Structure 1
Amino acid sequence: MPKIVIENLFNRTINFTDTSRKVIELIHENNIDWMHACGKKGRCTSCKMIMVSGQENLSSPSDREIYFRKLKRLGPNERLSCQCSLLDGEICIRVADINKFPHLEYSE
């Protein structure tokens, strides 16, 4: 069963079966606040997730992710949660410091 673990949110875990969904949709459906300034359209990088492990389990980078990598707004270990799906297995991610909400408590 596919699984998302958010490391710096106290290893919050999301189990699911529908691999056609974007990562950000799964996060939001599990009542976890995750930043997204452009409405999940891939026009900004506010929903980026830092990949700790499992990047090989995600869908291929979208055109938008490639575009932001060329601009150096996404690093090699970062993906846009609004642009990728978890196809199988597990990913472990972190919320980027710049995208943390002040009303949430984060672990380190």
Structure 2
Amino acid sequence: MPTITITNLYNREIFSEDTEKSVLQLIHENEIDWMHACGGKGRCTSCKMIVEEGMEQMSEISSPEKRYRNQGRLRTNERLCCQTTIKGDIKIRVAKVNKFPHIDYSN
């Protein structure tokens, strides 16, 4: 069962057998607030996650992600939660620019 660990949310873990849902959907199903200004449609970078481990466990990079990388808006260790599904364990963190003021982050 794939596990998402959000390291700067006190290593909060999300477990799911559903490999069809996006990381953003899985995060929201577990009642964690995560920025997504465009509603999870790949039209912005507000849902980006910094990937610490498990890039190889993620779906292939999407067209919107390629476009943002070419524009310099998405680094090679970043993915969009709304565009990414997983097949194995990953460790991610919330980007500083996308943190919510009402959430206590661990680092």
Match of 1:5 in 2: 5
Gap regions ≥5 residues in structure 2:
none
The CA deviation at 1:55 is 0.5
Instruction: Report the RMSD for the aligned CA atoms in angstroms.
Output: 0.4
Match of 1:103 in 2: 102
Amino acid at match of 1:30: N
Q: Distance in 2 between matches of 1:18 and 1:8?
A: 24
The CA deviation at 1:46 is 0.1
Alignment pair present for 1:65 and 2:65 = yes
Q: Could you state the TM-score of these two structures normalised by the residue count of structure 1?
A: 0.98
Amino acid at match of 1:75: R
Aligned length: 107
Match of 2:53 in 1: 53
Runs of 4 or more above 3 Å deviation: none
Amino acid at match of 2:102: H
Query: Aligned residues: percent identity?
Result: 58
Q: Distance in 2 between matches of 1:76 and 1:60?
A: 13
Amino acid at match of 2:101: P
Match of 2:84 in 1: 84
Q: Could you state the TM-score of these two structures normalised by the residue count of structure 2?
A: 0.99
- SS at 1:82's partner residue? helix
The CA deviation at 1:45 is 0.1
